[in-house]
Structure 1
């Protein structure tokens, strides 16, 4: 009987360590404070984020599909070629500047892409939260539909995966249309180090 009680306690232990969404929200409200351009609206969740939090990133499939369709309506894709300057794209991918309390409002932000992704083989310091994007364009080409997909994914990743951890760079206004095009260039241009 004692073994069974111990076993049940061990099974229940991980569940006891996970905070509830409400507990997380209390901590966020308690510990985050507005400073400069970094306001409290940044810690407020919209409906998609709240649903993903409450479902632990596993909403019912039909609901996820509906959320993605709703998010797709926010994606604004410019006309013409979406492949910008890959060299500017590399600088954006490397930069983590912008939108922090001590950055100047209105200055262009970076994408911090290397924090989560491997891109160029020359960059040794990269994150692994997101998939490796090394050889992305080499494997997929640069057809118009690929350009639209990449642009859209950067603009609003939740349009493709409802509970994506990737920021919604276009929807949030963090990156401009030109900056997103430059990132598309970084991923798809054959001359980019990503595709070497």
Structure 2
């Protein structure tokens, strides 16, 4: 990125924010004013490059509602409607196979690459799971934004993922990976399947990492 491009971006951002401050001297800016200024800054400082297109700046209805809430809990009826709408997008595996290779799942959890303008369309992305969660006990570096997933399957009594007793938690875990907003309207977790971040086989492999009794996660 060249110097003039960066300078132009910061200049546009400064003008937008300055305008917001000047118009809000008498009263605090409204949520819509803040949103409009933010969108102006984003649009003026972002340009399409490679697979990074302008549609990334357009939030869907779910994200829009959570953004407008500005960190406050959504009204219960709205939250439920968002979760129901997102639940309808969850696609269960056609062949009924939920678990893949946990060793491949660990690689995906460790991998934070993908989705940048330098990546090619169709290339496999990483899950970057350790950025937010503890997963394997052997990994000493992990984030704490999300809950610990260590012993995920073991704590939930999944000794045989193929059993009828395990079906509810297996399907829930798949759905959570596919579209987390189906269970928490304003979840910060990436919607791996819905947003095509991970493909179906990759989700199977992460499922195995979490649920396979042989996985180090459940040791």
Q: Under a length normalisation based on structure 2, what TM-score does the superposition of the two structures give? A: 0.78
* Aligned equivalent of 2:212: 189
Displacement of 1:22 after TM fit? 2.6
Asked whether 1:145 is paired with 2:168, we answer yes
* Aligned equivalent of 2:142: 126
Q: Is the 2:132–2:146 contact (alpha carbons within 8 Å) kept by the matching residues of 1?
A: yes
Q: Which runs of 5+ in 1 are unaligned?
A: 1-14
Q: Is the 1:83–1:147 contact (alpha carbons within 8 Å) kept by the matching residues of 2?
A: no
Q: Which runs of 5+ in 2 are unaligned?
A: 1-27
Q: Which segment drifts farther, 122-131 or 47-56?
A: 122-131
Asked whether 1:106 is paired with 2:129, we answer no
Asked whether 1:89 is paired with 2:99, we answer no
Displacement of 1:81 after TM fit? 3.1
How many residues end up aligned between the 2 structures?
Answer: 181
Please identify runs of 4+ aligned residues in structure 1 that moved more than 4 A: none
Partner of 1:53, secondary structure, is helix
Q: Is the 2:136–2:217 contact (alpha carbons within 8 Å) kept by the matching residues of 1?
A: yes
Q: Which segment drifts farther, 21-30 or 35-44?
A: 21-30
Aligned counterparts of 2:189 and 2:154: Cα–Cα separation in 1? 22
Displacement of 1:110 after TM fit? 0.9
Determine which of 130, 133, 138 is the counterpart of 1:117: 133
Displacement of 1:32 after TM fit? 2.3
Aligned counterparts of 1:22 and 1:122: Cα–Cα separation in 2? 45
* Aligned equivalent of 2:60: 46
Determine which of 178, 184, 194 is the counterpart of 1:171: 194
Determine which of 74, 78, 93 is the counterpart of 2:89: 74
- Structure 1 residues 86-132: Cα deviation after superposition (integer angstroms, max 9, x where no partner): 01100111111222111122111111111111101111111111111
Partner of 1:20, secondary structure, is helix
Q: Is the 2:133–2:147 contact (alpha carbons within 8 Å) kept by the matching residues of 1?
A: yes
- For the aligned residue pairs, the C-alpha RMSD in angstroms reads 1.8
Q: Is the 2:209–2:217 contact (alpha carbons within 8 Å) kept by the matching residues of 1?
A: yes
- The correspondence of residues 49-68 of structure 1 with structure 2, limited to 5 A, is 49-57=63-71, 58-68=73-83
